[in-house]
Amino acid sequence: MTADNNLLTEEINGYEIDSLDLNIIKLLQQNGRIAYSDIARSIDAPEATIRYRVKRLIDEKIISISAFINTGKIKYENVAYIEIEVSPAFLETNVSELITMENISYVASVTGEFDLMLEYIYQDNNDLLNFIGSLKSNPNVKRLNSRTILKIHKAQYPARIQP
């Protein structure tokens, strides 16, 4: 972090984020539907500046604003977390396919015993069984572990950026 014009700045993937951006992000994490005028009032900045900054943060893919479904409230959907140990060839050829699948809401490369972790939203046990079977049939999948979520007690996704 560096000081720039008396504003706290941090470089994230080549983009400068200052204290104004951090304050905007914090408010949007609390309520993604907050009006720009309310953000402007809360942090004492012009509304036009807020509009510009939010657009820039979205355009530069630093943030995205979306709705998260609480799958525990939806009767017909279930969630499984699946950890996969794979060969390097899987990462090169299959990760992009997983990312495009509608029922997969999360894919991450991870450390530890497994190489990938994903969140699979399934309609019934047969759906989950078929998906796990398709993964296991891939010769680049060495090992797989799955966990079915019975009840979500807290689902909070925003990362906190500390100034």
What is the dihedral sign for C-alpha 113, 118, 122, 127?
Answer: negative
| pLDDT surpasses 80 at 46 | yes
CA 83 to chain CA centroid, Å, is 17
pLDDT per residue as tens digits for the range 70-98:
656 666 568 899 999 999 989 888 899 99
CATH architecture of 71-148: 2-Layer Sandwich (3.30)
Q: Could you state, in order of their start, the residue ranges of all structural domains in the chain? A: 2-59, 71-148
| pLDDT surpasses 50 at 18 | yes
CATH architecture of 2-59: Orthogonal Bundle (1.10)
pLDDT per residue as tens digits for the range 127-156:
999 999 999 999 999 999 999 988 777 766
Q: Give the pLDDT confidence score for residue 149 in this predicted structure.
A: 83
